[in-house]
Amino acid sequence: MSDPFAENPDLIACAKLVEQGDPERFAAVMAAPVQARAVLFPIYAFNVEVSRAPWLTQEPMIAQMRLQWWWDALEEIRNGGMVRRHEVVTPLALVLDGEAALWLQDLVEARRLDVERVPFADEPALWDYLEKTGGGLMAAAARGLGTRDVAAAWRIGTAAGLAGYLRAVPDLEARGRQPLPDGRPETIAALAERGLARYAEGRRKGRPDAGKPALLAAWQTRALLTQAARHPARVADGTLALSEFGKRWRLLLAALR
């Protein structure tokens, strides 16, 4: 089987972008088969670019323009015609169909909330954000790998989005955000429990198919949400994390599964 990265500077650029901007997801991709990496790296490189766009400038209009650029690129992919030349967009167009491109457009729209920096009105609003970012991203990755039933990926991706979001709470607060509708420990614990329920539901729905490598990105999710449910104070003090040994073990276990 040929190496899709051989003499393909776009894929190599996407891999480097993920390695630098999202090292934990990079580790997950490297645990996947080589052919799957050629699908996952462009999607995750796109996510790195979009997720950091709201924070690269203090000018909301410039941040919105950056996000609009990505939305427009996805619209070109959806339309199936000429797609702009770009080291991420070009390989992305090869792995997305119209439906997956639409999900990623919803992800871009959700990231506009990061630009506006308006608190979530309630918990359902937070879940909507997580479903469009974490859930939509994993669903698009599973779709790109060839699966049509993305229900498991959507649920697991949403739970993974919550785990990542809870880890980011201290940084978001330092940036002047109010990241959670209710930051009381008991509310955070209940939120984490609901995330664990979504994760478990996704695992029950999962079936051995081509989209399985997309689920590797959730290799820390269960452990982190369990930790948040039992020790919600770790969310506020920034100690919601796994040990290095725990990380290596869980990634190995996820890859074996």
User: Using one digit for the tens of pLDDT, what is the confidence trace for 77-132?
Assistant: 999 989 999 999 999 999 999 999 999 999 999 999 999 888 999 999 999 999 99
Residue 82 maps to a domain? yes
Residue 68 maps to a domain? yes
Instruction: Give the 3-state secondary structure of residue 116.
Output: helix
Residue 3 maps to a domain? no
Structural domain boundaries, residue 19:
9-256
Q: What one-character-per-residue DSSP string does 150-191 give?
A: -HHHHHHHHHHHHHHHHHHHHHHHHTT----S---HHHHHHH
Residue 4 maps to a domain? no
Residue 98 maps to a domain? yes
Dig out the tokens for 111 from the structure. Answer: 């990231």
The DSSP H or E segment spanning 10 is helix 9-21
Identify the DSSP state of 121.
Answer: S
Phi, psi at 146, each rounded to 5°: 115, 0
List CB contacts of 104: < 8 A, sequence separation 6 or more: 43, 46, 74, 96, 136, 137, 140
> pLDDT tens digits for the chain (257 residues)?
678 887 799 999 999 999 999 999 999 999 999 999 999 999 999 999 999 999 988 899 999 999 999 999 999 999 998 999 999 999 999 999 999 999 999 999 999 999 988 899 999 999 999 999 999 999 999 999 999 889 999 999 999 999 999 999 999 999 888 999 999 999 999 999 999 999 999 999 776 577 899 999 999 999 999 999 999 999 999 999 988 877 777 877 777 66
Count of the separate structural domains present in the chain? 1
- What is the Cα 53 distance to its own chain's centre? 14
Residue 132 maps to a domain? yes
The DSSP H or E segment spanning 60 is helix 60-79
Helices 185-205 and 151-174, axial angle in degrees (round to 10): 150
Whose tokens are 């930790």? That residue is 227
CA 54 vs CA 18, 61, 136: distances in Å: 18, 10, 19
Give the separation between CA 83 and CA 8, rounded to whole angstroms. 18
Residue 31 maps to a domain? yes
Whose tokens are 């950091």? That residue is 52
CATH code of 180's domain: 1.10.600.10
Nearest CA-CA partner of 48 in 15, 71, 78, 79: 15
Residue 1 maps to a domain? no
Residue type at 159 in one-letter notation: A
Phi, psi at 240, each rounded to 5°: -75, 100
